[in-house]
Amino acid sequence: MEYTQLGRTGLKVSRLVLGTMNFGPQTDEPDSHAIMDAALDAGINFFDTANVYGWGENKGRTEEIIGNWFAKGGGRRDKVVVATKVYGNMGADGPAWPNHDKLSALNIRRSVDASLKRLRTDHIDLYQFHHIDRATPFEEIWQAVDVLVQQGKVLYAGSSNFPGYKIAQANEIAARRGGTIGLVSEQCLYNLAERRAEMEVVPAAQDYGLGVIPWSPLHGGLLGGVIKKEVQGGRRASGRAATALNDSAVRAQVQAYEDLLDKHGIEPGEAALAWLLTRPGVTGPIVGPRTAEQLASALRAVELELSPELLAGLDEIFPGPGPAPEAFAW
Active-site residues: which are they? 53
DSSP sequence for 21-71: TTBTTTB-HHHHHHHHHHHHHTT--EEE--TTTT-GGGTTHHHHHHHHHHT
How far apart are alpha carbons 24 and 9 in whole angstroms?
32
Distance of alpha carbon 184 from the chain centroid: 14
Distance of alpha carbon 317 from the chain centroid: 24
Determine how many CB atoms are found less than 10 A away from the CB of residue 91: 14
DSSP class of residue 281 equals T
How far apart are alpha carbons 277 and 283 in whole angstroms?
8
In order of 59, 114, 178, 180, 185, the CA distances from 175 in angstroms are 34, 29, 5, 8, 16
Burial class of 41 by CB neighbour count within 10 A (0 to 12, 13 to 18, 19+): exposed
Q: Are 157 and 182 in contact (CB under 8 A)?
A: yes
